[in-house]
């Protein structure tokens, strides 16, 4: 059996896409979050309004680009169960693309991508944010909401 890690990213724009933040929420309860420097001039109006005001609220989350790969791999190794695979669960393909880019295209073989968009119960995503009074468009909170909504969907099967 593999551990599911739910990931979400925030990024500058759909056309000129640069990572801003990465959130990961393991089904076992552990969380990981980093914010990286990004080219401000590439941010869309939406990102300026909805995403950027949410940055800088989680202590010790800033990470330089040359350190992100090591931090992500170290965290994944710490939450991984023995030699089991880890399913990297995402609801949007750009999240996976930016995750791979953050790892300098050296994704461990035991990390298996899984698109879960159709496996999420959207009402549970919204309920999670409302219940915990957390904003949307924050990579960690959105990853946690997906973990919650996926678990809810699975329990209804």
- What is the spatial distance between Cα 109 and Cα 93, in angstroms, rounded to a whole number? 19
Between the CA atoms of 36, 115, 132 and 102, what dihedral angle is there, to the nearest 10 degrees?
A: -10
- The answer to whether 8 and 32 have CB atoms below 8 angstroms apart is no
Residue with tokens 């219940």: 131
Q: How far is CA 133 from the centre of its chain?
A: 19
Ordered strands of the 31-35 beta sheet = 31-35, 19-26, 3-11, 86-90, 111-115
Q: Any idea where the domains of the chain sit in the sequence? A: 3-155
pTM for the predicted model, two decimal places: 0.95
Q: What angle do CA 42, 48, 52 make, to 5 degrees?
A: 105
- Fold held by 3-155: Nucleotidyltransferase; domain 5 (3.30.420)
Q: What is the pLDDT of residues 11-63, one digit of tens each?
A: 999 998 999 999 999 999 999 999 999 999 999 999 999 999 999 999 999 99
pLDDT at 6 over 50: yes
Q: What is the pLDDT of residues 99-148, one digit of tens each?
A: 999 999 999 999 999 999 999 999 999 999 999 999 999 999 999 999 99
pLDDT at 157: 39
In terms of phi and psi (left: phi > 0; alpha: psi -120 to 50; beta: otherwise), the region of 49 is: alpha
The token duo for 17 is: 């896409």
């Amino acid at each position: 059996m593999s551990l599911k890690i739910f990931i979400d990213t925030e990024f500058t724009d759909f056309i000129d896409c640069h990572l801003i933040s990465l959130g990961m929420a393991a089904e076992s309860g552990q969380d990981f979050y980093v914010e990286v420097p990004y080219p401000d001039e590439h941010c869309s109006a939406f990102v300026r309004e909805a995403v950027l005001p949410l940055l800088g609220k989680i202590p010790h989350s800033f990470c330089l680009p040359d350190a992100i790969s090591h931090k992500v791999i170290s965290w994944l190794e710490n939450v991984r169960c023995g030699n089991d695979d880890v399913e990297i669960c995402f609801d949007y393909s750009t999240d996976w693309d930016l995750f791979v880019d953050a790892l300098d295209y050296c994704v461990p073989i035991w990390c298996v991508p899984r698109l879960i968009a159709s496996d999420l119960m959207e009402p549970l995503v919204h309920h999670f944010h409302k219940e915990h009074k957390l904003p949307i468009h924050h990579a960690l909170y959105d990853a946690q909401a997906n973990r919650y909504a996926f678990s809810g969907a699975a329990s209804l099967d």
